[in-house]
Amino acid sequence: MSRRSPYEFEGPAPEAPVWWTSLDDYATQQDTSPSARADLAAEMPEGAWDFSDPVSRRGFMTLMGAAVSLATLQGCRRPVDKILPYARTPEDVTVNVTSFYATVIDRRGDAVGLLVESHEGRPTKVEGNPDHTGSHGKTDLLAQASVLDLYDPDRSRQPTLQGATKTYADFEGALREALTGHTSNGGTGLHVLVQPSISPTFVRLREAVKARFPNARFHTWEAASASNARAGARLAFGQAVVPVVDFARARVTVSIDSDFLQTDPGVVRNTRSWAEGRRVRSPADEPSRLYVVESNYSNTGGNADHRLRLPSREIEAYLKALAARLVSEHHIDLGDVAAAVRGAQAPSGVDAKWVNVVAADLAAHRGASALVAGTRQPAPVHALVHVLNQGLGNAGQTVKYAPVADANEADDHAAEVKSLSDALNANQVQTLLVLGGNPVYDAPGGRALSDKIAAVAFSAHLSMHADETSEKCKWHVPRAHWLETWGDAQSLDGVVAIQQPLIQPLFSGRSDIEVLGLLSDAPSYRGYELVRETFRTQNAGNGFERAWRRALNVGIATSAVTPVGPGLRGAEIIRSLSGRNAGAPLSKTNLEVVFAVDAKMYDGRHANNSWLQELPDPVTKITWDNAAMFSPKTAEELGIRGGDMVRLTKGNRSLEIAAWVLPGHADNSVTLPLGWGRTRAGRVGNGHGFDVNPLRTVEAPWFEDGFSATSMGTRYPISQTQAHHRMEGRPIAIETTVAQYREQPNFAERMSPTPRTLPLWRAPNAYEGHKWGMTIDLNSCTGCNACVVACQSENNIPVVGKEQVGRGREMHWLRVDRYFVSPRGQGDADERATSDPAMAVQPLGCVHCENAPCENVCPVAATVHSTEGLNEMAYNRCIGTRYCANNCPYKVRRFNYLNWHNDGVYQPLDGDMPEIVRMAMNPNVTVRFRGVMEKCTYCVQRIQGRKIEAKRENRELRDGEITTACAQACPADAITFGDLNLRGSRVSELARTDRRYKLLGEIGTQPRTTYLARIRNPNPEMQG
């Protein structure tokens, strides 16, 4: 039930005249001290007209009124919203015609070029830019979801000084004043905390600020920092370079604790090339092979052909043993470093095959293999991986090295935080600027910093929300969303793209570069001028204006840089590798704690994004929460069940968190996802999950041992979208091995055949025109969930909140099912079934059955078949009997049990969807009311839009012209949509490949979506 305060009284504007009745009254109004406010509050307590009971008197009256007015239901109308049409239409805007603008987004150190869909100046949907090498027209789930951040009603709207509303002019004046003190001392006492950036303008301006204030200190920090990789490269090569792996060419890939398909840098690029390397068109093709060594069960691990679960701490030892084997048995030349690994042994308990066979496989694929180290692993591991890639001849072949965007960035982010806290503790900081980021929440020891920050003379925090850090800083300045500001970004392979705003800042925020511009005393600190200035330095000459326009138009400013071929520094590496790997063996009393970048929250910056909160975690399928991941064995030893509250303790640090048992997790290791448990994220994000940062230290930001875990004896409710993880031996997400595929190429269809019975009557529709269909290639799908968010964004799919997900009412039209697959026919199968299962993923939306069970049973004919084979929903006709959903064998129909747009996640405040969130809606898709069934439409609005376009241009539709939101987003290109009747169309070709099968084909539903079975490529020598 909605609870509303009857009136919202706005405080008087600062310059408003004071109306007073007596001298006492005047004094009271002038007095803003807390005691006076308390007096005032006691006089008129807030909500005096409301009982404190959850069901307020007004709420109760509303309810009673509803009960009484049942008889008058006929007269009910939905509220009418007034629209404001253009009085004079802007020149380049045609109402109802969407336009796309090129821009770019920073995704953990890689730039993803985008085309953003705009409706009358309102960005609603993000797509990849096909011309950008970081994207190739694809996106990841965070890019898809970021458009909702723009319309976050909880974004701060005004600069504030200790909570009081101010103007930007006030802030600029105050900052200039604070800087005057620093101009004389060269910036001593001026500290700027920034996030790592790939923006050339950012780097240019930072250097300008450093030039102006030589003694100023810049500290770089990000909780999800990839600085280990950077430090590793510097260790190995003496310079900061970034490896770009071409997974398409690497026939054998070994991931050393790297989640390169979900959370590590370059996800879109990696997923694309990895899927390319796995592609199987016929039995003659050989997919690449992936070995993963990791502690947590990551999405990358789920895609592995062989996966070794090992605590993160022991992975280095494994890598050394692998290197030793490569040197001793396969004579791989590691130069001086060979001495450092000679005789290295794999950690105890690791099957010798994992060293011997993997080494043999790598050695057999010299120049066509790759090792990838995860950002969690320390610099020496990265360095050793570089050495191995060089030794195996992969460097320059499958692994290329590109110069980093910001060569002057510090290598060790943890040390950066430490230097700041040291300076704060020594009271050396007079002026502190925090540009983005949220160090009070996510820096190691951030809580301890907070009081020190509060004591700094001038402190300012630039951020989208008034968050944990803003609370401690004097000034808070709203940070503009990336869709509102000018900027630029350099991708891993060196392509620079211009970040072009789609909309004026909704709340007049500022960007990082604008504040840096202010600091650098640039002539103009408007983002546009600053970015153009950078571009001008890169494109000197008369062609500037033309080049600038072109860069805005196509979305890329420069082409990829030439990879560098750096030389190794053996001695440094040897020094770093020696004397490591100590510590007591891990056990249930000496647990390793591993911090993981969250696939949805990242480092916590997306906490107020309801799409991401509700998106199930790709591996655990948990929504709205994080939890500590335990392996089944460790959980059993500790007496912990999933959903128990546990206390993790080491020394004086401790953390209370819900536990979750994750099959396939390494024993004696606990994974803690970062980015949850925010307290000042906003209405959506507050209070979801557990903040694990208090356990993180500067010394061990990624993993640390010596923890103990005790069950607290209480339970914590966790909402999952999928509670059953076994496939029950059913032919659902079908997969096989390369060998078996070659033996029987059409194995999948034989497992799920369409019945061949004579029809009783002629098919009512021959589908002579278009015949829309889809193929989903399970061999390419990595289970990253970008399609789910893309679908949510395209189709205005509501969010229901944690409690309703727990009730099983999530609304996702497209979901990615994840099953654990146990090895079959092995002696220890029972034990391995839960401890070390493989993973199978399957995106599943409406499959548009030609013989649809849902259509027959609808009493009001609200779901019907179109002449083009779409199973259509007429929302206006639907009365919500839910019979169709019951009769759907795929369970893809979603019912609006409540009015999610009103009763959804914003309810705590005003019970109604804020106006601004509605701006994120796609105007081409109906927003569904409560009581209506909905489901995947194959993006019918896109089909109709392109058909109209083609008709207007008097031509046939081309293949690939129409694509669904999921297919467009999919970085692995696993989803293909098109016309099955169009000869030579991609979808019709794919639907005929030998791996095809119809999901639950034996029921006779004749789905239009065809799945292509997954082919795993296990190494036969690893078996047995």
Partner 1 sequence: MSNDGPIQDIGEKHLVVPGTTFRKITEAVSRVTENPAPRGWWIMFLAAVSFTGVLGLAIGYLFFRGVGVWGNNSPVGWAWDITNFVWWVGIGHAGTLISAVLFLFRQKWRTSINRFAEAMTIFAVICALLFPGIHVGRVWHAYYMFPIPNSMSIWPNFKSPLLWDVFAVGTYFTVSTLFWFVGLIPDLATLRDRSVNSVRRMVYGFLSLGWRSSNRHWQNYERAYMILAALSTPLVLSVHSVVSFDFATSVEPGWHTTIFPPYFVAGAIFSGFAMVMTLMLVARVVFKMNDLVTMTHVELMNKIILATGTIVGYAYAMEFFIAWYSGNEYERYVFLNRAFGPYAWAYWTMISCNVISPQLYWFKRLRTNIPLSFVISIFVNIGMWFERFVIIVTSLHRDFIPSSWGYFHPTPVDIAIYMGSLGLFFTLFLLFIRWVPMIAMAELKSVLPEASAHHHAHDDHDHHHAQPAKAE
Q: Which helix (H) or strand (E) holds 44?
A: none
Residue 70 makes contact with partner 1 by CB under 8 A: yes
Residue 712 makes contact with partner 1 by CB under 8 A: no
Residue 1005 makes contact with partner 1 by CB under 8 A: yes
CB of 987 to partner 1, least distance (A): 23
Beta strand segments in 640-741, E = 644-650, 653-661, 669-673, 703-715, 719-720, 735-737
The residue within the footprint of partner 1, chosen from 844, 917, 921, 990 (CB under 8 A), is 844
Residue of 69, 45, 49, 67 whose CA lies nearest to 57: 49
Q: Which is nearer to partner 1, 616 or 701 (CB)?
A: 616
Residue 505: which residues within 8 A CB-CB, separation 6 or more?
A: 480, 481, 484, 485
Q: Which is nearer to partner 1, 66 or 364 (CB)?
A: 66
Rounded CA separation 288/60 (Å): 64
Residue 896 makes contact with partner 1 by CB under 8 A: yes
SS (H, E, C) 79-103: CCCCCCCCCCCCCCCCCCCCEEEEE
Residue 41 makes contact with partner 1 by CB under 8 A: no
Residue 1006 makes contact with partner 1 by CB under 8 A: no
- Check if the beta carbon of residue 269 is closer than 8 Å to that of residue 133: yes
From 38-46, 72-80, 199-207, 637-645, give the range in contact with partner 1 by CB under 8 A.
72-80
Q: Which is nearer to partner 1, 700 or 885 (CB)?
A: 885
Residue 722 makes contact with partner 1 by CB under 8 A: yes
- Check if the beta carbon of residue 497 is closer than 8 Å to that of residue 557: yes
Rounded CA separation 689/674 (Å): 10
Phi–psi pair at 106, nearest 5 degrees: -90, 120
Residue 305 C-alpha from the chain's centroid = 24
The residue within the footprint of partner 1, chosen from 176, 807, 951, 958 (CB under 8 A), is 807
Residue 887 makes contact with partner 1 by CB under 8 A: yes
Residue 890 makes contact with partner 1 by CB under 8 A: yes
Rounded CA separation 990/973 (Å): 12
Q: Which is nearer to partner 1, 288 or 822 (CB)?
A: 822
Please give the C-alpha separations between residue 542 and each of 204, 516, 539, 895, in angstroms, as whole numbers: 22, 28, 9, 60
The residue within the footprint of partner 1, chosen from 330, 821, 897, 1018 (CB under 8 A), is 897
CB of 947 to partner 1, least distance (A): 24
Restricting to residues 731-750, name those near partner 1 by CB under 8 A: 732
The residue within the footprint of partner 1, chosen from 921, 939, 1000, 1015 (CB under 8 A), is 1000
Q: Which is nearer to partner 1, 333 or 803 (CB)?
A: 803
Task: Give how many residues touch partner 1 by CB under 8 A.
Answer: 68
Q: Which is nearer to partner 1, 128 or 731 (CB)?
A: 731
Residue 880 makes contact with partner 1 by CB under 8 A: yes
What token pair was written down for 127?
């797509």
Residue 74 makes contact with partner 1 by CB under 8 A: yes
In DSSP notation, 521-542 reads: T-S---HHHHHHHHHHHHS-ST
The residue within the footprint of partner 1, chosen from 549, 641, 726, 951 (CB under 8 A), is 726
In sequence order, the β-bridge partners of residue 776 are 975, 1011
The residue within the footprint of partner 1, chosen from 930, 946, 947, 986 (CB under 8 A), is 930
Q: Which is nearer to partner 1, 208 or 885 (CB)?
A: 885
From 288-296, 503-511, 554-562, 997-1005, give the range in contact with partner 1 by CB under 8 A.
997-1005
The residue within the footprint of partner 1, chosen from 283, 931, 945, 1018 (CB under 8 A), is 931
The SS3 call for residue 355 is helix
From 69-77, 452-460, 640-648, 1014-1022, give the range in contact with partner 1 by CB under 8 A.
69-77
Residue 804 makes contact with partner 1 by CB under 8 A: yes
Residue 283 makes contact with partner 1 by CB under 8 A: no
From 73-81, 212-220, 498-506, 954-962, give the range in contact with partner 1 by CB under 8 A.
73-81
CB of 757 to partner 1, least distance (A): 15
The SS3 call for residue 864 is strand
Q: Which is nearer to partner 1, 420 or 622 (CB)?
A: 622
Residue of 22, 1, 436, 405 whose CA lies nearest to 242: 405
From 100-108, 238-246, 424-432, 720-728, give the range in contact with partner 1 by CB under 8 A.
720-728
In which residue are the tokens 């007429």 written? 874
Residue 861 makes contact with partner 1 by CB under 8 A: yes
Residue 575 makes contact with partner 1 by CB under 8 A: no
Q: Which is nearer to partner 1, 564 or 879 (CB)?
A: 879
- DSSP 8-state code for residue 288: -
- Check if the beta carbon of residue 397 is closer than 8 Å to that of residue 249: yes
Q: Which helix (H) or strand (E) holds 116?
A: strand 110-119
The residue within the footprint of partner 1, chosen from 856, 867, 944, 1023 (CB under 8 A), is 856
- DSSP 8-state code for residue 69: G
CB of 817 to partner 1, least distance (A): 4
Build a one-symbol-per-residue string for 941-960: x at contacts with partner 1 by CB under 8 A, - elsewhere: --------------------
The residue within the footprint of partner 1, chosen from 5, 30, 587, 886 (CB under 8 A), is 886
CB of 858 to partner 1, least distance (A): 6
Q: Which is nearer to partner 1, 604 or 806 (CB)?
A: 806
Residue 71 makes contact with partner 1 by CB under 8 A: no
Residue 447 makes contact with partner 1 by CB under 8 A: no
**Virtual CA dihedral for 848, 850, 853, 854, nearest 10 degrees?**
50
Residue 641 makes contact with partner 1 by CB under 8 A: no
10 Å CB burial of residue 16 (0-12, 13-18, 19+) is exposed
From 378-386, 669-677, 857-865, 904-912, give the range in contact with partner 1 by CB under 8 A.
857-865
Rounded CA separation 438/274 (Å): 33
CB of 837 to partner 1, least distance (A): 14
Q: Which is nearer to partner 1, 566 or 801 (CB)?
A: 801
Residue 860 makes contact with partner 1 by CB under 8 A: yes
Give CA angle at 393 (390, 396), nearest 5°. 80
Q: Which helix (H) or strand (E) holds 412?
A: none
Neighbours of 36 (CB within 10 A): 14
The residue within the footprint of partner 1, chosen from 401, 895, 906, 938 (CB under 8 A), is 895
Residue 878 makes contact with partner 1 by CB under 8 A: yes
- Check if the beta carbon of residue 287 is closer than 8 Å to that of residue 738: yes
From 315-323, 496-504, 594-602, 859-867, give the range in contact with partner 1 by CB under 8 A.
859-867
The residue within the footprint of partner 1, chosen from 321, 358, 814, 933 (CB under 8 A), is 933
- Check if the beta carbon of residue 257 is closer than 8 Å to that of residue 315: yes
10 Å CB burial of residue 766 (0-12, 13-18, 19+) is exposed
Q: Which is nearer to partner 1, 62 or 98 (CB)?
A: 62
Please give the C-alpha separations between residue 9 and each of 12, 243, 507, in angstroms, as whole numbers: 9, 57, 21
CB of 622 to partner 1, least distance (A): 14
Residues 368-407 as b/e (b if ≥16 CB within 10 A, e otherwise) read: bbbbbbbbbbbbbbbbbbbbbbbbbbbbebbbbbbbbbbe
Question: Which residues form the interface with partner 1 (CB under 8 A)?
Answer: 1, 62-64, 66-68, 70, 73-74, 76, 722-730, 732, 804, 807-810, 815, 817-819, 842, 844, 853, 856-861, 877-883, 885-887, 889-891, 893-899, 903, 929-933, 1000, 1003, 1005
